[in-house]
Amino acid sequence: MLDLLVNPNAWVAFFTLAALEIILGIDNIIFISVIAGRLPVSIREQVRRIGLLFALVTRILLLLSLSWVMGLTEPLFSFFEHAVSGRDLILLLGGFFLIWKASKEIYSEVELHHDSNTPSEAEQISPKESIQKLFIASVGQIALLDMIFSLDSVITAVGMVDEIAIMIAAVIASVLIMLLAAKPIGDFVGRHASIKVLALSFLTVVGVVLIAEGMGLHIPKGYIYVAMAFSLGVELLNIRARAKQLARKQSR
């Protein structure tokens, strides 16, 4: 352990892997923010934290079961001349679930018009039992997607670093940073409806990528993240332009 602390190569590997883990965790943060944003304020922050703690625990457990993780890449059966592994099945199921969930949330956000005098779904929930059911259901959805995102993250870690201690340290550091960033990101997404729809569209794209990878088609993540960053930049400019127009109208 002391050898790792004084080894500059170990520190380079740690910071590089931690940065990659944070990037790979962006879609995880978006998903958790969307789920938490539809909950009552009293449990919103708790669900957000538990979701990220699930991500941390899942990643560490997968790292400690490297032999099982690597075994997931062994073919189980063939489908149209494509060898399907356990990892492929998990990615396919996760991709379909993500597309279904994101599409459902987009429909709710765009097509269902709520009267301003009508309480929201979260506000209508008052009995303690209903809040507990909502809490458990939300945490369950987050835990399911955490496993999908963690699998991709752990396989990346295994491909980059040989030392399990560096992997675990980088995962812990990245999740701690995600814990700090989750609330500001969630609040920002909640304040701007257009950003929320954009975030849900990102999740749809991630779902398509997961399905493609599950079918053996590798799509470089760099292209996806650049497209997301560009779309987000354009929408931030639109938000700024709308704010300036509103300020001009109010000043007249």
pTM for the model: 0.65
Q: Are 83 and 72 in contact (CB under 8 A)?
A: no
Q: What is the pLDDT of residue 122?
A: 47
Residue holding tokens 């494509």?
82
pLDDT tens sequence across 46-89: 888 888 788 788 878 877 776 666 667 677 777 767 787 877 88
> Which of 185, 44, 193, 49 has the alpha carbon at shortest distance from 123?
44
d(CA 24, CA 171): 11
Structure tokens at 242: 């709308």
Structure tokens at 176: 């701690």
**Cβ neighbours, 10 Å, residue 78:** 9
Percent of the chain whose pLDDT exceeds 90: 0
Residue 165 or 20, more confident:
165
Q: What is the pLDDT of residue 3?
A: 63
Q: Is the pLDDT of residue 242 over 80?
A: yes
What type of residue sits at position 249?
A: K
What is the dihedral sign for C-alpha 128, 134, 138, 141?
positive
Q: Is the pLDDT of residue 117 over 50?
A: no
The pLDDT mean for the chain works out to 75
d(CA 189, CA 184): 9
Q: Are 62 and 187 in contact (CB under 8 A)?
A: no
**pLDDT band per the 50, 70, 90 thresholds, residue 113:** low
**Cβ neighbours, 10 Å, residue 171:** 25
Residue 72 or 238, more confident:
238
pLDDT tens sequence across 125-138: 445 557 778 778 88
**pLDDT band per the 50, 70, 90 thresholds, residue 158:** low
**Torsion angles phi and psi, residue 79, rounded to 5:** -140, 110
